[in-house]
Amino acid sequence: MAKETKTRTEISELGEFGLIDRLTSPFGKTQKSTMTAVGDDAAVIAQSVDKVTLVTTDLFLEGIDFDLVYFPLKHLGYKIVVAASSDILAMNALPEQLTVSIGVSAKLGVEQLEEFYEGVRTACDEYGVDLVGGDTTASITGFVVSATVIGSTTKDSITYRSGAKQNDLICITGDLGSAYMGLHLLEREKRAFEGHSNPQPKFEGYEYLLGRYLRPSLRKDIVDELEKAKLHPTSMIDISDGLASDLLQICKSSDHGARIYLDRLPIARETYAMAEELHADPVVAALNGGNDYQLLFTVPLEMREKIGMIGGIDIIGHITAKDTGTLLVTPDGAEIPITAPGFR
């Protein structure tokens, strides 16, 4: 009798979000309090008649998400709080509590862990988040960090990825691609000084790019400003995987298409300069770089004037019918289908 051979699907064939869909689609909801499970930036759990609790978890692995050769532990602690809390902001809510669990390798001592937690504390103090717990274990594969953030808001205030409507304006905070260029600068200097006992990397003049990668800001200010303006986004997501990937998530969840315009993408002059130095494309950095932790959201067309009154927000396009696709429009009118890289 012939031996049955099991098929194997490579993760890269599905991509990150396809993998999540495949692994979690068999799961249903058995609790009445579970309003939204997998599929958005955070899970939504009913707390009372009008209040909801939001929960999100991020995992960070040494060698995949960060390199301790050039990533100061204090900055790493700060960035992990920002990265995990940003998912709560993307639901139009504010982060409140945090748990941090770590897997510690033998190369780290107590002083190094204190440095990491000093960064966590700095971010918690700056953004009003309380560290309320976590876990510690040994690791044989490097430093591992898991951060869970809890937030809350009212049922009426919460924003999902799925709410975008046709003709909504597509808005973005800050600029794109600078964190990606900061990472490439660090990798370049690491390669240049590999094997040197006393490396002297050249970072003068690159402070903005390095800061955007090593110590990004949490855009809590934008959520506060939207609330002050009584402006409720129809959909929202944070840009952690790159503009292209995260815009596609909004389009998929909302069952719509989109047009964004190349000449409206906010790209800093430092990013252009670094891209030229590295012989790279700044538009690719903006679309696919990731690690920006800016907010991508949609608002009704009639809110254009209100959006214009809030600083630091660019309108880069609009939502279209599903059958028109998700496209990048160049200054000469060419339309390029937006795709996202596979699993990284």
- High-pLDDT (> 70) share of the chain, %: 85
Cα gap 214→115, rounded to integer Å:
15
Pick the CATH number of 34-154 from 3.40.50.720, 3.30.70.120, 3.30.1330.10, 3.20.20.10: 3.30.1330.10
Cβ atoms 288, 163 nearer than 8 A: no
List pLDDT tens digits, range 202-220.
788 899 999 999 999 999 9
Claim: this prediction has a pTM higher than 0.85: yes
Q: What's the pLDDT band for 67 if we cut at 50, 70, 90?
A: very high
Please indicate whether the domains covering 34-154 and 161-195+205-337 agree at the CATH topology level: no
Cα gap 319→215, rounded to integer Å:
32
Which burial class, exposed, middle or buried, applies to 16 when counting CB atoms under 10 A from its CB (0-12, 13-18, 19+)?
Answer: middle
Q: Strands, E, within the chain: which ranges?
A: 34-36, 43-46, 51-61, 94-104, 130-133, 136-138, 144-154, 169-173, 235-239, 257-261, 294-299, 313-320, 326-329, 335-337
Determine the pLDDT at residue 164.
97
Cα gap 67→126, rounded to integer Å:
25
- High-pLDDT (> 90) share of the chain, %: 74
Taking the CB of residue 6, how many other CB atoms lie within 10 A of it? 4
From residue 9, give the alpha-carbon distance in Å to each of 12, 127, 185, 341. 8, 42, 35, 17
Determine the pLDDT at residue 11.
67
Q: What is the largest CA-CA distance in the chain?
A: 73
Q: Which positions ≥6 away from 67 have C-beta within 8 Å?
A: 186, 190
Determine the pLDDT at residue 204.
87
Looking at the DSSP bridge assignments, the partners of residue 94 are 152
**What is the residue extent of each domain of the chain?**
34-154, 161-195+205-337
List pLDDT tens digits, range 292-344.
999 999 999 999 999 999 989 999 999 999 999 999 999 999 999 999 864 45
Cα gap 301→304, rounded to integer Å:
6
Over residues 251-264, mean pLDDT: 96
In CATH terms, the fold of domain 161-195+205-337 is: Phosphoribosyl-aminoimidazole Synthetase; Chain A, domain 2 (3.90.650)
